[in-house]
Structure 1
């Protein structure tokens, strides 16, 4: 393993793994550093095994490295892909279910085949900008050691490297809640008396055995919760992930919330055989910090489908703000035909050199961030960051100074779908018929 790299990527989740793979495939000496024992982040360790969205209005707008691994996983497990031409369906029906264990192994294989070095169970302890790039302290089981890099990609989800380098981060006053992912079994959803169960729920909240936000809704939540077998339904308000202390609190809060819900359910008619079919070892955290970027994506930029001059990837997902107290979700689908883009300038921290951010910490307001933070968008951002930093290391320039046409050409050569500022991609994307028109899909 080298002590000097062209590109070091921190975080092996949906953004970081594609970043490292893309940088290595472009010939950069690359190291991927991940704190957990498996790659995949939110998709694998936090159990949100529904990557999306890769398509908009019936057309694929995100491909490349992330799609390659997701589609390979689906093929290996025999998972049938959604009918992506059915853009009229709710967004969650167009996500791609994957088996987390298989996806984690596929990411391992793809990383190793790319030629990148990999360190699991390792975190960043210090990050110092130098005249030649970066001096990075890694925290491994064996202790501390230092590597140097020309370029760094911070894909930690919390902008950890940004903070350690002394660069600013933003946090919203009211953060969205986390979610503890479980899947329940041992009962027949069609045999339950939901009127009775809703009455029991109201009594449990009134008596303090449940908190109002535990099942996301104040009124009659039991049918939705039990028919979905509890998946993606247990909110954990007030959690953060910016420090190890915050992460500890988040994990304890997540499991405490789950246990409160489990104890409540086990005492109800029809649920005496309740089992837990699977659970995530980490409480999923929706937001922590965003960077102070050269540009900042606003909700108007996102919902208006702004085509940034330096756009490197698309994003497509509804605005999806979960209430900070955990009791509901504000979902705002995009207007027909709108396909937002993510600019390079929102991925570069102010006052930095040789540093890019990919994933949910990219600069944006809370509403825009609630949409572009999802897995497919992060995969596209990660691949863009990997290509940009690899080219920057090769050319000996800052990421902001790499010619955009070189980045876009490299991304397209590796399967990515890249916004075309001249309008070619936008014209193609706008050819889908309006809802209700004579050309609409039957």
Structure 2
């Protein structure tokens, strides 16, 4: 391990591991710091093993490092890809099913193979820009370890390093709920009296044995049909501090126990059990940065092509109501290709500091869409390229020529805004005249 790095990436989730790989492949001495025992974040530790969306309107719009490792993981596990050409499917059908353990192992290989250094079970305890370098303190198992870096990329999902450095961040008053991922087994849905189960559920809510949002306001039949996967809402969660995250994890596991106890008390569900569960409750929304620009929902749904666009994002507006009582999903109009600008990754008042992932600068509706895994992988790779070029040239991250960054991204398989053109609907799909549902 070095005392000084060109680039330090904090957080090994969907944005962090591609950022570290890209920086290292461009020759920057790079350290990736991750608090958990596995890389992958939301995809692996939080169990949302459905990265997407890499394609829009039948065309690939996100490629590069993230896509390559995801694709290898599907092949390694003997899985299959969706039919991306059938773009009229519901958006969730075009996500890529992965096996978390396989993906985590392949991410390990890709990070180490890139030449980046890796520290798991490590967090940043202090961060300070001294006018020439970043001074960081790592909290390792053997104690506090100081080091310096030319550029820092914050991929914590909650802008933790930004806050440690005293740079402002922001949060919405009413935040979206989280979700604890698990999969139920041990029952035959066809043999159950779902009307009776629904009445029992409503009575349990009235008694306080269940919370209204525990099943994400789905019917019991719909919840069981999904085997409980991605079908819960943990309301009132927040991140940004250890106390907040502790409360979030406790709330998620209490929800799990409430649901299991309720189901096991019902006729036909006595043997219900957990086939899998995530060790970390997924958080959709907590803190974000005050960037040099803020991506608005209008920017996103109109596919604004920012002049400093680094990557694409593609996902419907997907706002989960703060009380857990439903989801506002708004598909994008045909041909829309939202973009992510460099200035949304740079906190105001900072030097040589980048953020990638769901904590970039955007309003609540736009962030509900660009927060997803494929979009985070794309902006992470872009941030890694930008950080490496800034470290190599001595420039600030806002001063690095974009042509250099775009060229390096393309060299490593990324798709830069402008590389993909979606033809008119009648030309590309002459018998399809409606926007996707």
CA contact (8 A) 2:334 2:425 kept: no
CA contact (8 A) 1:34 1:120 kept: yes
C-alpha distance in structure 1 between counterparts of 2:432 and 2:247, whole Å: 53
Where do residues 290-329 of structure 1 align in structure 2 (5 Å cutoff)? 290-329=288-327
Alignment partner, residue 131 of structure 2: 131
C-alpha distance in structure 2 between counterparts of 1:124 and 1:215, whole Å: 36
Equivalent of 1:405 in 403, 406, 416: 403
Alignment partner, residue 227 of structure 1: 225
CA contact (8 A) 1:293 1:347 kept: yes
CA shift, 1:431, in A, is 4.6
C-alpha distance in structure 2 between counterparts of 1:114 and 1:412, whole Å: 17
C-alpha distance in structure 1 between counterparts of 2:426 and 2:134, whole Å: 50
Structure 1 residues 288 and 31: alpha-carbon distance in aligned structure 2, compared to 1, 3 A threshold = same
Q: Which moved more, 1:41-50 or 1:131-140?
A: 131-140
Q: How many residues align?
A: 434
Moved over 3 A (4+): 430-441
C-alpha distance in structure 1 between counterparts of 2:76 and 2:114, whole Å: 20
CA shift, 1:433, in A, is 4.1
SS at structure 2 position matched to 1:17: helix
Alignment partner, residue 171 of structure 2: 171
CA shift, 1:202, in A, is 1.1
Where do residues 263-342 of structure 1 align in structure 2 (5 Å cutoff)? 263-342=261-340
CA contact (8 A) 1:322 1:329 kept: yes
Per-residue CA deviations over 1:378-434 (Å, capped at 9, x if unaligned) read 0000000000000011111001101011000000000000013xxxx35x2235547
CA contact (8 A) 1:215 1:327 kept: no
C-alpha distance in structure 1 between counterparts of 2:432 and 2:187, whole Å: 45
CA shift, 1:438, in A, is 3.3
**RMSD of aligned C-alpha atoms?**
1.4
List runs of 5+ in structure 2 lacking aligned partners. none
Structure 1 residues 235 and 434: alpha-carbon distance in aligned structure 2, compared to 1, 3 A threshold = farther
C-alpha distance in structure 1 between counterparts of 2:431 and 2:262, whole Å: 52
List runs of 5+ in structure 1 lacking aligned partners. none
Per-residue CA deviations over 1:191-248 (Å, capped at 9, x if unaligned) read 222111111111111121111111111xx61111000000001110001111000111
CA contact (8 A) 2:128 2:135 kept: yes
CA contact (8 A) 1:57 1:432 kept: no
C-alpha distance in structure 1 between counterparts of 2:49 and 2:140, whole Å: 28
C-alpha distance in structure 1 between counterparts of 2:222 and 2:398, whole Å: 47
Alignment partner, residue 89 of structure 1: 89
Where do residues 367-378 of structure 1 align in structure 2 (5 Å cutoff)? 367-378=365-376
CA contact (8 A) 1:336 1:434 kept: no
CA contact (8 A) 2:390 2:397 kept: yes
CA contact (8 A) 1:295 1:346 kept: yes
Per-residue CA deviations over 1:181-200 (Å, capped at 9, x if unaligned) read 00000011222221111111
C-alpha distance in structure 2 between counterparts of 1:429 and 1:5, whole Å: 41
Where do residues 337-356 of structure 1 align in structure 2 (5 Å cutoff)? 337-356=335-354
Equivalent of 1:438 in 428, 431, 435: 431
C-alpha distance in structure 2 between counterparts of 1:438 and 1:184, whole Å: 41
